[in-house]
Homo-oligomer: A and B are copies of this chain.
Amino acid sequence: MAVSDQVNADVGNGGGVRQRSRASIERRILEAAESVFAEAGFNGATTAEIARRAAIPKANLHYYFNTKEELYQQVLTGIVNTWLHTADEITIDADPAQALAHYITAKVELARERPIPSRVFANEIIHGAPHLGKYLGSELRAWVDTKAKVIRGWIAAGKMRDIDPKHLLFMIWASTQTYADFASQISAVLGKEQLSPQEYKAVARQVTEIILRGCGLTPPTQI
């Protein structure tokens, strides 16, 4: 976006073919980068391979993104923005069982539908988050503080057992994202290439049941 703005700032065509094509090629590059970063990590990923998957010469890739670092940052930013609003239903007025069930279900569905960005993010965290800068300690931390306060409100209102909200969130993250991040292990152990949509639903149901009962809540009736 920033690059696009800068380069096309003086083009007075009001978002014509030029800008559309630039946006589309940048999207193609970012998609290719996403998959390469997921498979090989930042260090293992090569700009040559990203260019190959985007079907452009490497020099052309460096025309759109100056450095590999810049490309990685954009991929990470995209992932993070996607994740920021996944728990909007966790509010003080919501029913805890319903809200948590929805959150867990949504997270499992995300693990099924978009496992690749999840892996890029997980890889970054495992290696100590060297490229995420202060994001974890500022924005994500504030997000968690907000949600934790909501859950503490539920507990104070006697709606659920007294548990540590933040570690509950960590447990939900772990239990759901494991189906994206560690998919290869799960596939191998279960002896199947990939889980069916039905199996993902069963996973969501079981994780929800265990977490909710663990919090002293009654899981909402399944449809």
Q: Which residues of A contact B (CB under 8 A)?
A: 38-44, 119, 122-123, 125-129, 136-137, 140-141, 144, 163-164, 166-168, 170-171, 173-175, 177-179, 181-182, 184-186, 188-191, 202-203, 206-207, 209-216
Contact = CB atoms under 8 A, between A and B. Distances in A.
* A interface majority secondary structure: helix
Nearest to A202: B164
Contact of A175 (B144, B164, B166, B175): B175
Contacts of A166: 189-190
A122 B129 contact: no
Contact of A178 (B42, B141, B173): B173
Tally of this chain's copies: 2
A181 B126 contact: yes
B129 A210 contact: no
A188 B126 contact: no
A4 to B, nearest CB: 30
Given A41-B44, A44-B44, A144-B189, A129 B184 contact: yes
A189 B128 contact: no
Contacts of A170: 175, 178-179, 182, 186
